[in-house]
Amino acid sequence: MDQTKFILNEKDMPTAWYNILPDLPEPLPAVLHPGTGKPIGPDDMAPLFPMDIIMQEFSPQQYIDIPEEVQNVYRLWRPTMLYRARRLEKALDTPARIFYKYEGTSPAGSHKPNTAVAQAYYNKKAGIKRLATETGAGQWGSSLAFACALFGIELKVYMVKVSYQQKPYRRIMMETWGAKCVPSPSQDTNAGRGILAKDPDSSGSLGIAISEAIEDAVTSKDTKYSIGSVANHVLLHQTVIGQESMKQMEMAGFYPDIIVGCVGGGSNFGGMFLPFVKDKIKGKRKDLRIICVEPASCPSLTKGAYCYDFGDTAGMTPLFKMHTLGHTFMPPPVHAGGLRYHGMAPIICHLYQMGLVEARAVPQVATFEAGITFARTEGFVSAPETNHAIRVAIDEALKCRETGQAKTILIAHSGHGHFDMAAYDQYLSGQLTDYEYPEEKVKEALAGLPKVG
Ligand SMILES: *Cc1c(COP(=O)(O)O)cnc(C)c1O
């Protein structure tokens, strides 16, 4: 029998998240206060997050128990399926074995609820009644709306105005789960009103939306802020993906030679590879290759500078040591909205710097070509973000066809593309184009990096 999917029982679901911090060969660079240039501590973050989350951000503990209440919600869709992509292998005529871990079965359709549920739980536990957050195309906003509905927390989402107008379906999804969603810049905050006064037609940006959400959180009663990627605690919560995948690859009888995933802020792929990179750090799997895939038009790892920068466009966050294109950089409007971020998770940058993971940048049209091949063989219509991972997996499988090597490739499949049919339509009708790497704009943005030390 050609086994196609590897199924874990609910009782095999991980009961703890894996924390990479104590296993790093060198400690992660400190997060700095932009005013003093000194490392920030838990108290500095208290206006934004509940203490349980802050402690996880800095935790020296290798495993952190997943609360029973969070596990109970995870059980709605976890453990997720691991598939062997037999039809794709056949279509590529490759000796490679291709597997994919599919996160598209969560209620919101991606990996993001893995952290949204945990964050909603810890806020509820701390007596928080309301959360504020930002969202680009709506993947994060809808995931947090789902989680807040289950824990009885109010949610206000500042959604980048151009997406709010052009992509109404995720907004309607957020409202279905009871969240309030406004186009950003909005009249509801000083930050928003300031921008609108200067430019009434501003189409918004993720940076502006973050500024509005943070202002809302620090000025409203019983309200905190919630972030969907980049932060250590977000990657931590996502490690359920990698831990399940390890067990499932064991069931399949293979250990991956190559793991590939897309990186925007780095949370889905970090969640996948962190439990595996531990094997590489400990010398058990020295040859394991881990490939982070980013858009050629927003290449933080492959073209960015490794230095301290703000997490948001407005410069309201602390300073993170990361690969960055400059916090004022506005990435071209590729359809993979979740990959349009100027920086990258500090944990991933640190591992990249140490040579433990590699990175590759791919142009947009080639990613859709890969997504179509995947849909026509495996059936699943993938998110434009995920298509980046599929592109590189296919390229690696084609190399195996040349060399005759039967490598095992594992794809982190972050979500479905059911809300992205307009993008597929553009590709199918030959209208989709590539964006050049905007070298001049990156130079400009890098010139505006904050001075540290
Ligand atoms: C948000 C999103 C991403 C990118 O975010 P990461 O934090 O890098 O994982 C990738 N895929 C999908 C489907 C997303 O919704």
The residue extents of the domains of the chain are 36-66+113-225, 77-109+238-440
**In the chain, what is the straight-line distance between the N-terminal and C-terminal CA atoms, in Å?**
62
Nearest residue (CA) to ligand 1, atom 15: 139
Question: CB count, 10 Å around CB of 173?
Answer: 22
Q: What is the mean pLDDT of residues 96-121?
A: 98
Quote the CA–CA distance of 228 and 49 in Å, as a whole number.
13
pLDDT confidence of residue 315: 85
Q: Is 383 touching ligand 1 by the criterion CB < 6 Å? A: yes
User: What is the per-residue pLDDT across 302-315, written as a single tens digit (0 to 9) for each?
Assistant: 999 999 999 887 78
Question: Is 63 strand, coil or helix?
Answer: strand
Compute the distance between CA of residue 104 and CA of residue 386 in angstroms, rounded to an integer: 10
The pLDDT assigned to 94 comes to: 98
Please tell me if the CB atom of residue 109 comes closer than 6 angstroms to any atom of ligand 1.
no
- Ligand 1 contact, 417 CB (< 6 A): no
Residue 386 Cβ inside 6 Å of ligand 1? The answer reads yes
Q: How far, in Å, is the centroid of ligand 1 from the Cα of 427?
A: 21
- Residue with tokens 């993170």, as numbered in its chain: 320
Shortest-distance atom of ligand 1 to CA 267: 7
C-alpha 262 to ligand 1 mean position (Å): 7
Nearest to 109 by CA among 415, 353, 439, 452: 415
- DSSP character at residue 25: S
Strands 130-135 and 154-160: parallel
Mean pLDDT within 63-81: 98
Please tell me the predicted confidence (pLDDT) of residue 214: 93
Q: Kindly list the distances between the CA atom of residue 263 and the CA atoms of 211, 260, 309, 348, 383, in Å, as whole numbers in the listed order.
A: 23, 10, 18, 9, 13
- If phi > 0 it is left, if psi is from -120 to 50 it is alpha, else beta; for residue 210 that is alpha
Number of H helices, E strands in the chain: 18, 15
Cβ 103 under 6 angstroms from ligand 1: no
Instruction: Please tell me the CATH code under which domain 36-66+113-225 is placed.
Output: 3.40.50.1100
Ligand 1 and 432: CB distance under 6 A? no
- β-pair type (16-18, 63-65): antiparallel
Does the structure show a pLDDT above 80 at 453?
Answer: no
- Contact between 81 and 7 (Cβ < 8 Å): yes
Q: How does pLDDT run across 313-328, given as a tens digit for each residue?
A: 778 889 999 999 999 8
Virtual torsion, Cα 443, 447, 448, 452, nearest 10 deg:
130
* Cβ of 338 below 6 Å from ligand 1: yes
Pick among 3.40.50.1100, 3.40.630.40, 3.40.50.300, 3.40.50.10190: CATH of 77-109+238-440: 3.40.50.1100
**Best residue among 105, 229, 233, 260 to mutate for probing ligand 1, ranked by most atoms within 8 Å of CB:** 229
pLDDT at 1 over 80: no
CA distance 403 to 287: 17
Nearest in space to 103 (alpha carbons), one of 416, 347, 349, 359: 416
pLDDT for residue 235 is more than 80: yes
Indicate the pairing of strand 258-262 with strand 319-324. Answer: unpaired
Asked if residue 452 has pLDDT above 90, the reply is: no
**Residue 16 above 80 pLDDT?**
yes
Write out the H or E segment, with its range, that includes residue 101. strand 97-102
Q: What is the pLDDT of residues 145-195, one digit of tens each?
A: 999 999 999 999 999 998 898 889 999 999 999 999 999 999 999 999 998
Pairing relationship of beta strands 130-135 and 223-225 according to DSSP bridges? parallel
Average of pLDDT values for 351-374?
A: 98
DSSP 8-state secondary structure symbol assigned to residue 31: P
CB 294 within 8 Å of CB 300:
yes
